[in-house]
Amino acid sequence: MKTIRQSGLVRHHSTAGFHRSTGWMFVSFALILVGVFSIYPVISSFLLSFQTGRGAVYHFNGLGNIQRLLKDTVFLQALKNTFVYFIFQVPIMIILALTIASVLNNPKLKFRGFFRIAIFLPCVTSLVAYSVLFKSMFALDGLVNRMLLAINVVAEPIPWLLDPFWAKVLIIIALTWRWTGYNMMFYLSAMQNISPSYYEAARIDGANAFQQFRYITVPLLKPVILFTSVMSTIGTLQLFDESMNITGGGPANATITISHYIYNVLFRFTPNFGYAATISYVIVFLVAILAFVQFKLTGDDHAA
């Protein structure tokens, strides 16, 4: 009796083990890849961030990299620039995207498909290609300056690439051009999920177009607006191509971003992988805070 039960148990156990190992086998490919290419680099770069040195020679530096970070004027400048970008660029872009989306959502508008594609198209162009194009368009004797001079908006060419202020403006223009259409698509699809009966009711109550937008469209799009603004903010933190290709981070580091600075530390300057890892963990840290804020805010939204 005992033996039978035991053997039954054993057999039961071994089939479960077989199923489990088959399951593990299927998962193992993904697990090994994730382990090698994702988990290991994360841990390894974290350890690296406590070391310093150059090239192939490294030694443990404790919190030295963080102390250095706090005194590093270029890093602080890069951090400041990144914040300037998202404080000015993200709201401009989101308001613009919302406005364009609500215009394009109007069923009476002709050639809607054409306009949608035209505004969406910039975000499928290559980052480098558009950056190079912007650089030449905004050169001192480039297309934009010639146009502004021709229509007498300015008396002399604007030094887009040479002046710290205008260079920042240029980066903001470039970012807005590239990403507005992308965000607009989110709003457009969300708007199409709003029942027309809300607007009908509002019209019967005598609400004008702006009131409809303000009190119906915007509140109903709130989760999408939140999502896009957090995504854009994270995108700004990782900004690299524009700073690298349009302005080269200059003039006088006025447009350099954190990611661009990491690149410089690794490839332009004497490579210090330890310090670069420390700076990249600053981005991780900032993104984590923003993601937390996002979860908090959207969570509240669901509760309400």
Partner 1 sequence: MKKFLFVVLALMLTLSVFAAGDKEAAAAGPQKITIWAWDPNFNIAIMEEAKARYQAINPDVQFEIVDMAKADVEQKLLINLSSGVTDGLPDIVLIEDYNAEKYLSSYPDSFADLSSSFDYSQFAPYKVKLMTVGGKTYGVPFDTGVAGTYYRKDILEAAGFRASDMENITWDRFIEIGEAVFAKTGVSMCAFDPTDGGLVRVMLHSAGSWYFDKNGKPFLAGNPVMEAAVATYAKLINSPGTMKTSGWAEWVGAINSGKAATISTGVWITGSVKAEATQSGKWALAPIPRLNVPGAVNASNLGGSSWYVLNSSKAKATAIDFLKQIYAKDNDFYQKILVDRGAVGSFLPSQGGSAYMVADPFFGGQKVFQNFSAYMQKIPSVEFGSYTYEADSAIASVLPSIYAGGSVADALKAAQAQLENAIK
Binding site for partner 1 (CB under 8 A): 17-18, 21-22, 24-25, 28-29, 32-33, 52, 54-57, 64, 68, 71-74, 77, 135-136, 139-141, 159, 161-162, 164, 248, 250-253, 264, 266-271, 273
Question: Distance from CA of residue 164 to its chain's centroid?
Answer: 23
**Minimum CB separation from partner 1 for residue 23, in Å?**
10
Nearer to partner 1 by C-beta: 181 or 274? 274
> Which tokens go with 41?
């680099």
Burial 254-263 (b: 16+ CB within 10 A, else e): bbbbbbbbbb
**Minimum CB separation from partner 1 for residue 75, in Å?**
9
Nearer to partner 1 by C-beta: 48 or 119? 48
Contact yes or no for 75/265 (Cβ under 8 A):
no
**Minimum CB separation from partner 1 for residue 169, in Å?**
15
Nearer to partner 1 by C-beta: 52 or 183? 52
Which stretch of DSSP H or E encloses residue 88? none
Nearer to partner 1 by C-beta: 230 or 265? 265
Work out whether strand 57-60 and strand 51-54 pair parallel, antiparallel, or are unpaired: antiparallel
Contact yes or no for 102/191 (Cβ under 8 A):
yes
Contact yes or no for 250/15 (Cβ under 8 A):
no
- The neighbouring-strand residues paired with 53 are 58
Environment class of 112 (CB within 10 Å of its CB; exposed 0-12, middle 13-18, buried 19+): middle
**Minimum CB separation from partner 1 for residue 40, in Å?**
14
Nearer to partner 1 by C-beta: 162 or 231? 162
